[in-house]
Amino acid sequence: MGKARTPRSSWIEAALRALAAGGPEAVRVEALARELRVTKGGFYWHFDDRRELLEAALDSWEQSGTEDVIATVEGEEGDARDHLRRLFELAPAAKSTFAVELALRDWARRDRDVAKRLRRVDSRRLDYLRSLFRQIAADEEDAEARALLAYSLFVGAYFVAAGSARERRRSLGLAVDRLLAPPT
């Protein structure tokens, strides 16, 4: 009986952890094999080279951090405000994966292909937010402003270190309430 292969998904998850810890330079086949406690030969069952692994990691990040989140929110009952609140509820749970997002945003500054993918992801996320805010905003400009503010809050709140975690959660709740308030 042959030895079971390490699943492709395990290599991708290890690559994402390495990316979060040290950027794309940290995604090395030998290091991932050590982490997974396998030989690097097992890598070549799933990937032709390191670049293919990085592409698969980017695909995984895009799917789980965008399309899966949208599907989760859309799969629940409720109106646009309910869906927006759900997005903000999901955001703290994604905090553990935000290090990957931060590493990707840094990498995009140096890699044209990664920058192109990041623009696509940001555009998809903003389009989704716009679609929700259009249902509650006064007009198109209001929807656009709220969508950009909400997305900036999703991305930027991670960096805020002022006050205690409790104070930041309270402030975030107040900001969400303002974003979701009926137009005046």
What is d(CA 175, CA 170) in angstroms, rounded to the nearest whole number? Answer: 9
pLDDT in tens, 20-66: 999 999 999 999 999 999 988 889 999 999 999 999 999 999 999 99
pLDDT in tens, 21-34: 999 999 999 999 99
* Burial grade of 48 (CB within 10 A; 0-12, 13-18, 19 or more): exposed
> What mean pLDDT is reported for the chain?
92
Q: Where are the domains of the chain?
A: 56-180
pLDDT in tens, 87-108: 988 876 666 688 899 999 999 9
The end-to-end CA distance of the chain, in Å, is: 70
| Residues ≥6 apart with Cβ < 8 Å to 38 | 6
Nearest to residue 26, comparing CAs of 47, 6, 53? Answer: 53
Structure confidence at residue 95 (pLDDT): 65
The CATH classification number of 56-180 equals 1.10.357
What is d(CA 62, CA 138) in angstroms, rounded to the nearest whole number? Answer: 31
pLDDT in tens, 137-158: 999 999 999 999 999 998 887 7
- pLDDT band per the 50, 70, 90 thresholds, residue 159: confident
Is the separation of the CB atoms in 30 and 40 below 8 Å?
yes
Q: pTM for the complete prediction?
A: 0.90
Structure confidence at residue 91 (pLDDT): 78
The two structure tokens encoding residue 42: 């097992």
Structure confidence at residue 4 (pLDDT): 55
- pLDDT band per the 50, 70, 90 thresholds, residue 2: very low
Give residue 93's Cα distance to chain centre. 11
pLDDT in tens, 105-138: 999 999 999 999 999 999 999 999 999 999 999 9
